[in-house]
Amino acid sequence: MSSATQKSSSQDALLRSGIDRSLRHPVMFFMTSGAAWLAVSLILGVISSAKAHSPEFLDGCGWLTYGRVQAAHTSALIYGWGFQAAFGMIIWMMSRLSRQECRASGIILTAGHVWNVIISLGTLGILAGYGTGMPWMEFPSFTWPVITITYAVIMVWSLVQFKVRPEGHVYISQWYLLAAMIWFPWVFITTNLLLHVFPGNPVMAAGINAWYKSSLIFLFFVPIGLGMAFYLIPKVTGRAVHSYSLAKLGFWSLAIIMPWAGMQKLTGAPIPYFIPYLGAAATVLFFIPAFTAAVNLLRTAMASGDIVNNSPALRFTTAGIVGLIVMAVAAVFLNLPGSTLKLSQFSLSGYGFEMLSLYGFFSFVAFGAIYFIVPRITGREWLSRRLIKMHFFISIYGIMLIAVVAIFGGLQQGVGQEMFDQPWATASTRAYPYAICITFSWCTILISNIFFFMHLMVMWLRLGRRSNHPTLLVSAHGHSPHGEEGDIDNAGPGTAAAH
Amino acid sequence: MSSPDPQHSSKPDLDESINVTKAHGRVERESAATAREQRIADNGHEPLALWVIVACGIVLLIAGGVIGDAGTLFSYGNTFKEGYVRGKAPGSLEEGPAPKDALAAFSAKGQKVYSKCNGCHGADGKGGASYPSLAGSAWVVGDTQKFAMIVLNGLQGPASNGKTYGVMPAQGSGMSAQDLAALMTFVRNGFGNSVGDVVTVEMAENALAISAAREKVGQAVTAEEIKADHMVMLEGEPLDPTTMVDPAKLTPVE
């Protein structure tokens, strides 16, 4: 391709450097506390998954019964890790793309602390038995107004930055970020009002709850992950996004199709008959926005295969995009009426799909973003390529196992659930081996993220490598552990390739 | 960095204590990651690949099929598919409820029909001060035709024990032959009664015919009428109480 760009001028570098410095406290806070919440969520996930096949595990502790620990696991994963990683990515990327320093980092940092307090209260509330029992909205209902306000205080500055941006066209990432920033309050406030303030028919309430889950994935985590990927891949490879028209198709199809998805969970329930099928069709159609965006990004990235392989940021991001393709295929595969739809909604399959979206796609892109952003805001390079590789490979194998095993094991479980003349235990027996495998996979993912968390802590303490050469994932047999460029604090400007 | 090169040392120092070269080196190092970044390039204008369009088209077709299952869109009144008939259940439940012997099956159904008699004769059939007891009543355990006439038309005047209670209203409206057969079998074999036979559906049909052909149609029967016309068993093929029957249809199963 001929569109490789020149290095930007030193003026630009200064501006970027200033933006990064203005944001270093809030972004670093969101990323480190997000990573800590990820670890908490993974520990809870291991416990809840273990209880699915060995109910006697930790059965002496009322706080750790399955219903509570499973709810705490997903809530910590979504609001503790997912949202905080998203905040870090959004405020950083919006500042960069609007080419302005952040003037409210103190307020954002404070709001970030409030967010952590309310999430902690919510999680403790769930474990103490005060959960609402509504999937993904399990925090006790007093939390939602606080969450809404805190979210607004964190996000509004990015909207302001966008509003006063210098002239110029709006980049693809900004479409996705702006849309997600506005969609989430719409979805969150609507569902909470309809479920907590003006409760209606309880069957429909279950449908609204299912719509919330689906919308959180498709209208928040997916667009934010895509926005980040559309930023990182062209940034690191220095190539233009493969096709602008494909990007437009991907964005607008996402915006038009995905709000319809979600209610397929209520197939067969006494709600208006067409609604679940409309939801199933919309979820099937998720393939179009996901696949077009993924092809676009992979085409852009794979034109520079070496960079993708060597750069930690790109390796994680690209893996996340592959996860998005798997997710798109699974969305089609799990929503076919007459075969999989009835098997997938109350079994492990649904969980597998959710984890595929939250971890297989979103978290991988977020890891990529963290590996890219943290060296810029701390002024230090990642300490060890081996830790990054461990994180990458163990995570990849773990999430692949979870996705494959949960999706197919869930279908087996669903077949068992459909046999209504058999005792319910039949369905559990069918899911038993798969549940064991999922516990094992969560353990591996937990181990990989312990490496990640330690590494991030080191960076947070500014103990990273003081070098002007990036930490790349090249194999270095017989070389210095930090690559051919040299050792720690080799000082002086060098001529490293752009990464 | 200890030996500053001449080019740099010629620059004016703002402060004697700052080694500009060193400071410059540090700044460069701290923002090295930022400095080596590239600008995001303009958008590419590659054409849409045919295979991407084909793949999306296939998924559109699948989604169209899913929507096809949705019936009429936006018809908020329908909670199930138009013309939906419950499919056959897999497994053993498909044959319907398990067969029972005739006495048990008729009695079980009769017990449900008896719920309309509960109010006066009581759940235990003992009646009370103002209602006659069914337990041990001669008209209950005796000839079936008179029992049927009382159930269908009600009773006026003295009961089998000679005492006069109030007027028993007719129970026959809306009662099918099956209901009547089941009810009579239940009462004749419950509450301590143990006649041991089954009043068949055929017998109950005959009873309905006889009841419709009475001289005083629409009036409750009296002790005199019973003694004059109805002191016989209902006609019909007797059914062995141990025959296995379908508990819902009350027909013998092969």
Q: How far apart are the C-alpha atoms of A335 and B99, rounded to whole Å? A: 40
- Cβ atoms of A369 and A84 within 8 Å: the answer is no
> How crowded is residue A173: how many other Cβ atoms within 10 Å of its Cβ?
28
- Cβ atoms of B140 and B189 within 8 Å: the answer is no
- Minimal C-alpha gap between A439 and chain B (Å): 33
- Minimal C-alpha gap between B47 and chain A (Å): 7
For B225-234, what is each residue's pLDDT tens digit? 888 888 888 8
- Minimal C-alpha gap between B12 and chain A (Å): 21
Instruction: Report ipTM (2 d.p.).
Output: 0.86
Pairing state between β B244-245 and B155-156: unpaired
- Cβ atoms of B195 and B107 within 8 Å: the answer is no
B4 pLDDT above the threshold of 50: no
Whether B204 maps to a domain, the answer reads yes
CA distances from A26 to A83, A105, A207, A319 (A): 14, 6, 36, 27
Mapping DSSP to helix (H, G, I), strand (E, B) and coil, where does residue A462 land? coil
DSSP B49: P
Indicate the pLDDT class of residue B47, thresholds 50, 70 and 90: confident
> How crowded is residue B43: how many other Cβ atoms within 10 Å of its Cβ?
19
The enclosing domain of B110 has a CATH number of 1.10.760.10
Q: How far apart are the C-alpha atoms of A44 and A51, rounded to whole Å? A: 11
Instruction: Using CA atoms of A209, A213, A218, A219 in order, give the dihedral in degrees to the nearest 10.
Output: 60
Nearest CA in chain A to B30: A379
Per-residue pLDDT of chain A (499 residues; tens, 9 = 90+): 333 344 446 778 888 888 999 999 999 999 999 999 999 999 999 999 999 899 888 888 889 999 999 999 999 999 999 999 999 999 999 999 999 999 999 999 999 999 999 999 999 999 999 999 999 999 999 999 999 999 999 999 999 999 988 877 889 999 999 999 999 999 999 999 999 999 989 999 999 999 999 999 999 999 999 999 999 999 999 888 999 999 999 999 999 999 999 999 998 888 999 999 999 999 999 999 999 999 999 999 998 888 898 999 999 999 999 999 999 999 999 999 888 988 887 889 999 999 999 999 999 999 999 999 999 998 888 998 899 999 999 999 999 999 999 999 999 999 998 887 788 888 888 899 999 999 999 999 999 999 999 999 999 998 888 877 788 887 655 444 444 444 444 444 444 444 5
Q: Decide if B36 and A498 are in contact by the 8 Å CB cutoff.
A: yes
Q: What is the DSSP string of A147-167?
A: HHHHHHHHHHHHHHHHHTPPS
Q: Decide if A244 and B55 are in contact by the 8 Å CB cutoff.
A: no
* Fold that domain A12-460 belongs to in CATH: Cytochrome C Oxidase; Chain A (1.20.210)
User: Which residues in chain B have Cβ-Cβ distances shorter than 8 Å to A9?
Assistant: none
CA distances from A366 to A154, A316, A447, A473 (A): 18, 8, 18, 18
Give the pLDDT confidence score for residue B23 in this predicted structure.
67
Give the pLDDT confidence score for residue B16 in this predicted structure.
60
Could you say which of B43, B59, B69 has the minimum Cβ distance to residue A241? Answer: B43
Pairing state between β B155-156 and B221-222: parallel
Give the pLDDT confidence score for residue A464 in this predicted structure.
86
Structure tokens at A116: 């952590």
Q: Decide if B39 and A285 are in contact by the 8 Å CB cutoff.
A: no
Nearest CA in chain A to B63: A281
- Cβ atoms of A293 and A226 within 8 Å: the answer is yes
Closest to B234 (Cα-Cα) out of B170, B155, B151, B171:
B151
Could you say which of B31, B45, B76 has the minimum Cβ distance to residue A379? Answer: B31
DSSP B164: B
Domain range list for chain A:
12-460
Whether B136 maps to a domain, the answer reads yes
Q: How many CA atoms lie within 13 A of B169 on its CB side?
A: 6
Give the pLDDT confidence score for residue B20 in this predicted structure.
65
- Cβ atoms of B246 and B99 within 8 Å: the answer is yes
- Cβ atoms of A24 and B65 within 8 Å: the answer is no
How open is the CA angle B23-B27-B30, to the nearest 5 degrees? 135
Give the pLDDT confidence score for residue A496 in this predicted structure.
47
Q: How far apart are the C-alpha atoms of A487 and A268, rounded to whole Å? A: 64
Maximum C-alpha span of chain B: 142
Nearest CA in chain B to A173: B40
Instruction: Using CA atoms of A151, A363, A98, A257 in order, give the dihedral in degrees to the nearest 10.
Output: -80
User: Which residues in chain B have Cβ-Cβ distances shorter than 8 Å to A466?
Assistant: 29
Q: Decide if A281 and B37 are in contact by the 8 Å CB cutoff.
A: no
Whether B166 maps to a domain, the answer reads yes
- Minimal C-alpha gap between A106 and chain B (Å): 22
For B74-108, what is each residue's pLDDT tens digit? 888 888 887 787 776 655 555 667 788 888 888 88
- Beta-bridge partner residues of B239: B198
H-run or E-run covering B245: strand B244-245
Q: Which residue in B26, B27, B43 has the most chain A C-beta atoms within 10 A of its own C-beta, making it the best mutation to test that interface?
A: B43
Locus of tokens 């970020």: A177
Q: Could you list the beta-strand ranges (E) of B131-234.
A: 155-156, 221-222
CA distances from A116 to A42, A83, A212, B23 (A): 17, 11, 22, 38
Structure tokens at A393: 């490979």
User: Which residues in chain B have Cβ-Cβ distances shorter than 8 Å to A499?
Assistant: 36
User: Which residues in chain A have Cβ-Cβ distances shorter than 8 Å to B75?
Assistant: 272-274
Whether B108 maps to a domain, the answer reads yes
User: Which residues in chain A have Cβ-Cβ distances shorter than 8 Å to B36?
Assistant: 7, 468, 470, 496, 498-499
Q: How many CA atoms lie within 13 A of B152 on its CB side?
A: 27
Q: How far apart are the C-alpha atoms of A398 and A395, rounded to whole Å? A: 5
Structure tokens at A488: 């720690």
Q: Decide if A287 and B40 are in contact by the 8 Å CB cutoff.
A: no
B126 is in which domain, residue-wise?
102-238
A439 CA to centre of own chain: 20
Q: How far apart are the C-alpha atoms of B221 and B144, rounded to whole Å? A: 15
For B137-194, what is each residue's pLDDT tens digit? 888 888 888 888 888 888 888 887 778 887 888 888 888 888 888 888 888 888 888 8
Q: How far apart are the C-alpha atoms of B188 and B142, rounded to whole Å? A: 9
Number of structural domains (chain B) is: 1
Length of chain B: 254
Locus of tokens 């098997």: A343
Q: How far apart are the C-alpha atoms of A481 and A484, rounded to whole Å? A: 8
